[in-house]
Amino acid sequence: MQFAQRLEKIPPYLFAEINRKRDELIAKGVDIINLGVGDPDKPTPAHILQAMHEAIDDGSTHNYPPYQGMDEFRKATAKWMERRFGVIGLDPATEIISSIGSKESIHNTFLAFVEPGDYTLIPDPGYPVYRTSTIFAGGQPYTMPLKAEKNFLPDIRNIPEEIAQKTKLLWINYPNNPTGAVATLDFFAELVAFCRHYDILLCHDHAYSEMAYDGYKPPSVLQIPGAKDIAIEFHSLSKSYNMTGWRMGFVVGNSTGIKGLSQVKTNVDSGVFKAIQKAAIAAFSTSEAQLQSLVSIYQSRRDVIVRGLQSLGWSIQPPQATLYVWVPVPKGYTSREFTSLLLDKCGIIVPPGNGYGSQGEGFFRIALTIPEARMQEAIQRMHNAGIFYGGVRE
């Protein structure tokens, strides 16, 4: 029995590999501090759970859901987009579709629009699914480097004309995973103009729209006048409401983009369980005070990590958003060498930056999804092992 050749082009999924290493070490009795995966550790808020309990008891939720999402859910989504971003007039029938989290809809978008010979413009470093889904669809990924000196924003002026002419999709993700960078409306406007000129579908992965700190509120690309003509935006309830396992998200924007996504979706899955959609509607009603109480936990953890690393010699600033801190490795180490050192000497799991693309070399990512006490222990373990930004002290 032989795998399809496409699998030879696809590396093992980064976080599946991290989980495998974690399980091996735990089986050996190692006390692992896992700073690897961005999976919130706090419970889903009570009002969402209550809505789910009530929906499960309602027998009308137990049959097949509409592929594109319940009408009630899509209308609630339109109201949330208007309330949160001031995006007015989204048509629930043609410009909104539910998704099984973001990962499913991101992958299906490639299947809907990319053919052999087509290019996709993807950030590097970036969410690994952008690259692997391009390959699954038979396309060619063209990477847009995200560099610290450019605030981890791609410079579209560096994209060759012949590549732009053959590009179907351009992907961005702000607030950004893995760098924690944020983007302005002026930057979004530049991308909208570029994609309109080349007839490219602009895809904004907005999974961290609510995970922002110090009063910052990330904008939507759909706030740009005319963006709906060329852009779709991917949202997830996973991080914002501690609902990663629920697999609930939605995509909004350009009707052609939504139609293509819907055509793939109707052929590969049967939609989101109605009870989860009803719970999602309850999530949309979460008050600003409730949301900020969740976000404040991650902001406090961010500060613990940043201060701790600063005490060990790192010159880093706290990110404005996401669940991550993007950290340079000490000089003399590659990303994999340093993350292996942390695992071997300290029992700390972090993903190497080059797991997100070649431009991630020289960095590692810390997830803010464990209690502060364990984060402080991780910093203490590094100190005790002599691991400082200036090098490892024996």
- How does pLDDT run across 58-81, given as a tens digit for each residue? 999 999 999 999 999 999 999 999
3-state helix, strand, coil in the chain (%, to 5): 45, 15, 40
Q: Please, what is the end-to-end C-alpha distance for the chain in angstroms?
A: 50
Q: How far apart are CA 173 and CA 156, in angstroms?
A: 15
Q: Nearest to residue 169, comparing CAs of 237, 228, 230?
A: 230
Contact (CB, 8 A) for 124 and 143: yes
Sign of CA dihedral 35, 39, 43, 46: positive
Q: How many CA atoms lie within 13 A of 83 on its CB side?
A: 11
Out of 19-23, 53-57, 113-117, which region has the weakest mean confidence (pLDDT)?
A: 19-23
Predicted pLDDT at 13: 65
pLDDT tens per residue, range 163-213: 999 999 999 999 999 999 999 999 999 999 999 999 999 999 999 999 999
Q: Does position 114 have pLDDT exceeding 90, yes or no? A: yes
Q: How far apart are CA 128 and CA 144, in angstroms?
A: 14
Q: How far apart are CA 227 and CA 221, in angstroms?
A: 7
pLDDT tens per residue, range 206-250: 999 999 999 999 999 999 999 999 999 999 999 999 999 999 999
Using DSSP's 3-state secondary structure scheme, residue 87 falls into: coil
Using DSSP's 3-state secondary structure scheme, residue 217 falls into: coil
Contact (CB, 8 A) for 40 and 369: yes
Q: Kindly state the average pLDDT of the residues 126-145.
A: 96
Percent of the chain whose pLDDT exceeds 90: 89
Category of 386 on φ-ψ map: left (φ > 0), alpha (ψ -120 to 50) or beta: left
Percent of the chain whose pLDDT exceeds 70: 98
Q: Is the pTM for the entire model greater than 0.85?
A: yes
Q: Does position 14 have pLDDT exceeding 70, yes or no? A: no
Domains of the chain (ranges, CATH numbers): 5-43+289-392 (3.90.1150.10), 46-284 (3.40.640.10)
E strands in the chain: 33-34, 96-99, 119-124, 140-145, 167-172, 201-205, 231-236, 249-253, 324-328, 348-349, 363-367, 387-388, 391-392
Q: How far apart are CA 393 and CA 387, in angstroms?
A: 6
Predicted pLDDT at 15: 64
Please give the structure tokens belonging to residue 224: 């740009």
Calculated CA dihedral for residues 118, 120, 121, 124, nearest 10 degrees: -130
Q: How far apart are CA 350 and CA 162, in angstroms?
A: 38
Please give the structure tokens belonging to residue 327: 């950290």
